[in-house]
Structure 1
């Protein structure tokens, strides 16, 4: 008997009504009695030594309750992988927008005036803005202390800096002999691609509220994607035990990786401690733009292929634009580099990945964790190989795509890999449309995406006295619908309707640990923990019901909240009665606990750089797009997107389709419109007037296709889907432009100006 609202059913999100009626509380809505307004003073210089930060005028202003500089903050570096960042600059600034001071005042106007009254004098130093130039031996050094920084023994255990340079981390791996393979190849082809920095474009900016009680608790509210990690870092910075800090997240208006590192929380804490009152910091849109971004950089790809299109060798060299600090760049640049050859069988591979400091806004994780950048290069390059050999772009991919049990270029064995089926499904669409006379302007690309290895999730399910269930999860909901999916997993695991489950998430005092919402991990990791907890609740409920019904637990079944004897459905009881017995008669409420650690690790062979298993699981997919190109203006008209994605098992097909459609539009933005433009280190378009993101008006007809290749470790076979659908969009569009015009463009975004210049150069 199926569970109402269980796994595989298309049900509306459990928070849908509250969201569309405006009843949800976001961090920007938070109000705490006696709360002050915090403002940050930022550097206007990309690289320089701090000569003076004079706060005397601000301190004397009426209504100002606290003023801090970097010297008032604990002298500790911060970072989730590499601890190289100062939250408020001390002695030196490294980018335009870096915090140098902060104030707290009774209202926003007073706080702004106080911030403007702070006199900052900086002696400017030579700066670096390009990662390739920054990697050169004679480039101005941004981090003189490189090599001495602390780092995570998990996320950055493979940390490999080059002190005395701007190369924060160099990751490499080798397999086979690429040079020998090149000598045997019918074609050796090399291309260089550039990727622009882009912003995450979430609707809600960064917000943090802190209330430091003297000799008591520290209360934090924020819209972070990783509450437990942020709590840990804040506690470490101020020398407190973790238990002193309580961090509660609100609903989050989008994150996409941009709300992981605690750039605001320590500043709010320091201001609150000094002022003796709660402090709220809400970034303006312009401030948010200089807080985080996607890396961007340059990717060089070289391949050797046989005449029939068989890949013999591939070489990839990546220069990542890390910005002023590395944040999670050590991990991102490594895992993306692992992914860079693509989901193919390639016997000979050579990869070099350089994470390079520049004097620009800090680069942080962005939806896809570096894979959209490397797949833009790899999948555009695959099309180039096909056209040079006179092969169909789909056929060359199909010939080389890996299958179950194949060994990946980086040493991992492929598992639950449905990428060929995804490609077959989009090929069917293309062939049908071509037969209908729609012949030109088609582009295809495939993708794979890791889920960060080795992360942990816990879950608790507690039965209430009326038989309903309370699901406690530390994974923050950031708009992707995870509360609904986790509730469906719990419902299926116990055997109750999803309507009987209440989800509580993201409170470090109330919920169990979860590594956070990032890297497409919640459905897989948190879902597994929830399923374990649900099965424990089910086991306990069946034991008690067996006593009530005088039957063995193994002879009982649970369906939609009722427990009955198999073969005798009239002999039954309810979850409510079981709960009453457990609470009243036994004094032992039914509680299920689950914990799951994903597979994989950051362990690499010291001689080859190869990994036995680099990810908890992999997402796979294929994208087909149709474009028209106006040769007079260079404008690309994106007509249709077909995205086929291997989801393992769709917990909620409605949510999965929404993820595919939303990610496609985000990928379209990065492909056609979005670019953070810098002039001498200063961002010149820090707002949604000058920084273009697609709206619903630019959204093409999008057709999601769900392919289900169950994962042996996933809950009910499910895998993540949050990032994969963005990855192949840009190369598919670029390949479609080539199909329509014969012009190959190797730099994003594909603006009308760039397309027109390429067309004119061709002519």
Structure 2
């Protein structure tokens, strides 16, 4: 299909606002009479709350409200399992858990009030290691787990084990695992570890809530405004029409702003104080209250024949859930089972994924949704198998790669598969096998797949104004990924106008249609389709009306086209009407304003057989494929790894905006470099001890390697113009690629991230 705007590298439509400081972020929102909030957090990882006395705090001049669990409904909340409270009730389960909150005239007064709140605790025995938490004699973090309610949306794949610390145990069984290993000439077994890392979004969580008898208004930088509305309405006993959630400009999310932990606290404070309440976290609170990505232990056993065919794979993945399941249930399912075995044909599989409670703040979804943890193990062992068999690692991958029409681990028939194409493009770009290697330099290429969120819904509306300009309404959130621009390009393409003539209103639950939000690479595919369908609806109305206006010519709508602000007859391009004339007539003359609507629900199902993990339905809306190659240099005296170059091929289906796609890919690569070489959340007795950017290391522009981005356009049959979501694919392979290149350079194999200089140097010295 020939397009004029879709496929063009156009600047982001909100870019000028951001770089000039005109964008209104959560911290910038102000309303008359607002007061400021602070949260009191538990100093203990596991303790009974004996009593809370806030009377002294309430008497401090300038304090407008203090709230505890008694100011909120006595009910558990949670995205998946209802396993936590907005403010701790009876018991705290991690250091940093919110116990009370204060609203005051300024932050200094609020901090003074926090110190005046007296909380009596009775300490309990904690457990911090997920492997220890699996033991039968481990302290129980959730004694009433068997009776917890589950979310209606994702209840079908949560499998808690009563009287344990296992929030969910997901299984996959395919073929005969024992027979598969007997067929193998080589069997390898290893355990790999990936620690917690933080999202490190530039902008912290920020909420402003105003509670009035007529309505609750919440300004939030959360990634799912409609889910926040549903949550607030349900929690405070109001119809959804009485709750409005408005997205501010969002300074990054990466999954860390999906869970609405702050919004109910701000609303409760506003209700009690009768004032608008603003709650903004500092960086230390971000690390205390939001747990980043799940640490994971991945035990993997794989078998292959001497001619390089995989015969069996057995995996056990233990995810540290922290004190609440949250979106860990999705990670445990989609990364721990559905995608864990990699983009390979493996006839015999046995996979067990455990989401395990510990006494630490709960992690949540993070860009990649757990795939980097499992690919770190699988792709490291893939190179090890190839070496053991004496087969080139790229050739070994090619011999086992999934192809069009193959079945996935869960049984779905795959389409739009680009594993081999991505591998070949990277190998060719790196001149694999022919380029000489200098001393202390290593290289590697890995390949993987990434799912997009299954079974979620988007809707959109398109208004064509009297002058032919377009207003697009979408409930999705722009979190820096360029979605406003991509969606505007789709609308402009369908309606024959320029990008500059499309205005986008997004993330306002009173003004925009429903959307599940921005997460798991879903917006381009899901919301993009909804926008395309809405624009097609509007386009159809325009053509029908234009055909009527062009009478007495016997013109049918099917004979007309819409491009460059004109409706014209295809066979007679000079015969037609300006779009503005048709749009004005629709409003004034015919009383039929042009308003298109569209919706889309992605394919995919959570209905996997609980014993086998098999299904006759797709497990994901789409699969995105990626191959990445790295050249590195290792300093043998210091252990420092320097990434010399990184080349990647990314199956985006169709790049709606190649410039934006490349920007997303480069950002994901840098996050991958960070988790590979620098990043780790350190804990002592359940307390995070590096909650700042002095002690928690992230890469800067100085560590950015030269990159080559190859966009592979293998259209998906259900994507808008064939497009797939590309925002997460570039992070998932970096650890394995760098780890394999480290082995190639030095002969040392590390199984724990990050690959810090001390770990590398110790391994090199041990090898000597």
Which range is displaced more, 568-577 or 291-300? 568-577
Q: Show the 5 A alignment for 1:726-741.
A: 726-741=731-746
User: 1:255-404, aligned counterparts within 5 Å?
Assistant: 255-292=253-290, 293-337=292-336, 338-404=338-404
For residues 597 and 412 of structure 1, the distance between their equivalents in structure 2, rounded to whole angstroms, comes to: 18
Match in the other structure for 1:611 = 615
Conserved? CA contact 1:3–1:495, under 8 Å: no
Deviation at 1:611, TM superposition (A): 2.7
SS of the counterpart of 2:626?
A: strand
Per the alignment, residue 547 of structure 2 pairs with: 546
Q: 2:246 is matched with which residue: 231, 238, 248? A: 248
Which moves more between the two structures, 62-71 or 553-562? 553-562
Alignment partner, residue 565 of structure 1: 569
Find the counterpart in structure 2 of residue 487 from structure 1: 488
What is the deviation of 1:264?
A: 0.1
Q: CA deviation at 1:603?
A: 0.3
Match of 2:656 among 651, 660, 678: 651
| Map of 1:750 onto structure 2 | 755
RMSD over aligned Cα, in angstroms? 1.2
TM-score by length of structure 1 reads: 0.98
User: Per the alignment, do residues 623 and 122 of structure 1 end up closer, same or farther by CA in structure 2, a change over 3 Å counting?
Assistant: same
Question: How far apart in 2 are the matches of 1:496 and 1:549?
Answer: 21
In structure 2, the CA distance between the partners of 1:352 and 1:607, relative to structure 1 (3 Å rule), is closer
Which one of the candidate residues 715, 721, 733 is aligned to 1:716? 721
Task: State whether structure 2 residue 662 is matched by structure 1 residue 625.
Answer: no
Distance 2:410 2:556 in 1: 50
SS of corresponding position for 1:519: coil
Aligned residue pair count: 761
Q: Within 5 Å, which residues of 2 pair with 1:107-146?
A: 107-146=106-145
Aligned-partner Cα distance in 2 for 1:285–1:491: 40
The answer to whether residue 725 in structure 2 is matched with residue 725 in structure 1 is no
- The 3-state SS of whatever aligns with 1:693 is coil
Distance in 2 (alpha carbons) for counterparts of 1:231 and 1:376: 37
Q: Which residue of 2 aligns with 1:664?
A: 669
Shift of 1:547: 2.1
Select 2:585's aligned residue among 567, 573, 581. Answer: 581
Contact 1:3 1:559 in 2 (8 A): no
Q: What is the CA–CA distance in structure 1 between the aligned matches of 2:376 and 2:68, rounded to whole Å?
A: 42
Structure-to-structure mapping, 1:482-561, within 5 angstroms: 482-550=483-551, 551-561=555-565
Structure 1 residue 546, shift from structure 2 partner: 1.4
Whether 1:601 aligns to 2:598 is: no
Aligned-residue offset at 1:495: 2.1
**C-alpha separation between the residues in 1 aligned to 2:449 and 2:3?**
33
Distance 2:643 2:148 in 1: 46
Structure 1 contact 359–681 (Cα < 8 Å) conserved: yes
Segments of structure 1 that go 5 or more residues without pairing to the other structure are none
Residue 34 of structure 1 corresponds to 33
Q: Specify every segment of 5 or more residues in structure 2 that has no aligned partner in the other structure, as ranges.
A: none
- What is the CA-CA distance between 1:153 and the residue it aligns to? 2.9
For 2:571 and 2:466, locate their aligned partners in 1 and report how far apart those are by CA, in whole Å.
Answer: 28
Q: Find the counterpart in structure 2 of residue 11 from structure 1.
A: 10
| Structure 2 equivalent of residue 223 of structure 1 | 221
Cα distance between partner residues in 2 of 1:108 and 1:158? 43
The one-character-per-residue Cα deviations of 1:158-204 (angstroms, maximum 9, x if unpaired) are: 22111111111100010001111111210111010001000001000
SS of 2:575's partner is strand
Tell whether 2:472 aligns with 1:474: no
Is the CA contact 2:157–2:333 (under 8 Å) kept in the aligned structure 1?
A: no
Tell me if structure 2 keeps the 8 A contact 1:418–1:708: no
Name the counterpart of 1:153: 152
Q: Deviations over 1:224-276 (max 9, x none)?
A: 00000111111111111111100000110000000011100000000000000
Counterpart position of 2:445: 444
Output the CA distance in 2 between the equivalents of 1:16 and 1:110: 37
Does the aligned pair in 1 maintain the 2:171–2:611 contact within 8 Å? no
Task: Report the equivalent of 2:407.
Answer: 407
Name the SS of the counterpart of 1:581 in structure 2: helix
1:85 aligned residue:
84
Cα distance, 1:121 vs structure 2? 1.8
Q: Check the 8 A contact 1:348/1:409 in 2, yes or no.
A: no
Deviations 1:412-469 (A, max 9, x none): 1111111210100111122268436668410111111111210000000011111111
Deviates more, 1:676-685 or 1:391-400: 391-400
In 2, the alpha carbon distance for the partners of 1:493 and 1:81 equals: 38
Q: Deviations over 1:37-58 (max 9, x none)?
A: 0100000000000112211110
> 2:730 is paired with a residue of what secondary structure?
helix
Alignment of 1:41-56 (within 5 A): 41-56=40-55
Alpha-carbon distance in structure 2 between the residues aligned to 1:370 and 1:414 = 21
